[in-house]
Amino acid sequence: MGRVLVIPSIDIQNGVTVRVVKGIPELNCKEYCNDPIETAMLWRAENAKTIHVVDFNAAHSHSHKNFDIIAEMCESVIIPIQLGGGIRTFEDAEISIELGVFRLVIGTMAFDNQKEFLKVLEHFGPRKIAAAIDVIDNEVVINGRQQRTGINVINYAKQLKDIGVKRFVVTDVNRNGMLIGPNIELSKNIAEATQGKVTLSGGVSGYNDLNNINQEFDNGIDSVIIGRALYENAFPCQKIWRVAESGIFN
């Protein structure tokens, strides 16, 4: 059995780090470092191997107001940064890659403009593009996790596999930021249905959850995004980092 790669999440809105609960960013969280660049440097100092960034301004209003900050984040740390939020066109993808990120996590475009998504996937390749699957009650949600689609998650994941997606970032939105435990079964089912690699996101509350996720490494869950549990010190950082970079870059 391999070891799952732990990826700290930095969620940005209006230039500051925010906490996200059930897909909704909450501002003015005093327990968090407000500066996303300082936050990225903190996780790098804690020996993180990569960082997951969500741009909520881009996701909700297609704004690029945080792009300078994201570019500076990429310059400030020597570890790869993957970016999600508001990537709706090929031009968005080009601009985002030029910021210095190593991978784009794309959700809405993959659902409602598959022709454009396929163009992005073919141009940059499956190592640089992951499909975000945000889920509420086994239903795919899009547009900043605000719009239900009525589409079954497994059927959708299979469609993405058929057009060439190799990696899926799977978020159970109702568990996101709630510290109530991850929906491991959801990610496991997507991994089995697609034979792809899955990054689980949402609900991790502590070390036991991480151990349970790690048991599914051989079943395709090779990485996990953790936000609130890290920021609120649910476990010591140095004890949870894993050195399985090979999985996340494949």
Catalytic amino acids?
Answer: 11, 134
Report helix, strand or coil for 123: helix
CA gap 26, 102 in Å, rounded:
27
Q: Which amino acid is at 141?
A: V
Phi, psi torsion values for 220, nearest 5 degrees: 110, -10
Residue spans of alpha helices (H) in 50-205: 56-61, 67-76, 90-98, 108-112, 114-124, 153-162, 184-194
Radius of gyration of the chain (CA): 16
Q: Please state, in angstroms and as integers, the Cα–Cα distance from residue 225 to each residue in 19, 41, 98, 205, 241, following that order.
A: 14, 17, 23, 12, 12
Is the distance from CB of 191 to CB of 198 less than 8 angstroms? yes
Is the distance from CB of 82 to CB of 52 less than 8 angstroms? yes
Report helix, strand or coil for 163: coil
